[in-house]
Amino acid sequence: MTVNLEVAEGVGTLRLDRPPMNALDVATQDRLRELAEEATRREDVRAVVIYGGEKVFAAGADIKEMQAMDHTAMVLRARGLQDAFTAVARIPKPVVAAVTGYALGGGCELALCADYRIAGEHAKLGQPEILLGLIPGAGGTQRLPRLIGPSKAKDLIFTGRMVKADEALALGLVDRVVPAGEVYEQAHAWAARLAQGPALALRAAKEAVDAGLETDIETGLTVERNWFAGLFATEDRERGMRSFVEEGPGKAKFL
């Protein structure tokens, strides 16, 4: 399989496995969507790590496969491409991308679908589609400017240039840079910590933030208010407040 889902201690690792560069061909895209939907459904998956292995995250789409596609073929495929990445973005649980080596084109767009990005010190990210006479087609023109702002996103998209990990950190494209050998370990630790948290409150927080970014502030506040009030019906809220009153802050156990 080109993508695998490995689950341990509440953390599901979506592992890309298509050597040598984890090129995201159609079969890999479809498998990614399938496993993202499985991670969404599974109660034993409480947080997710997206990982490509020690050497590379994903170097982009399979260009040879794309070269053979004409306009009609891509009209039929483009929605499936976006749907695969959207399935990852819509996992209603904390998701972290563990970025090693190259995260280019579709690889960068996949990292953008995570809530948090941890990159190795030698990682390189970018949207080089313009160099092929194309634009990003798996969400890059939409998620990248929402993350780093339109002018910075346009610079990367217009030039197609790669950025090293330190510049990616300065741009806000990644959230943490660590030694190359620690990328997965630190990403897993981030996910494992949240896997111990209140699952419904984390889901509510993610959906409120994401929905709010897509609408005006009044609608966003309504989304927040509804989630906030709704959580008062949950066992996690009851457990968290009881622990606070009886034991002090930060001691609640949600598993």
Asked if residues 146 and 107 have their Cβ atoms less than 8 Å apart, the reply is no
Question: Which of 109, 182, 214, 218 is labelled catalytic?
Answer: 109
Tell me which of 6, 9, 43, 129 is the catalytic residue. 129
**Catalytic: 207?**
no
Q: What is the 3-state secondary structure (H, E, C) of 174-203?
A: CCEEECHHHHHHHHHHHHHHHHCCCHHHHH
Tokens (6 digits) for 51: 């990982």
Half-sphere exposure for 20 (CA within 13 Å, toward CB): 0
Does the annotation count 246 as an active-site position?
no
Rounded Cα gap, residues 191 and 13, in angstroms: 10
Catalytic residues: 109, 129
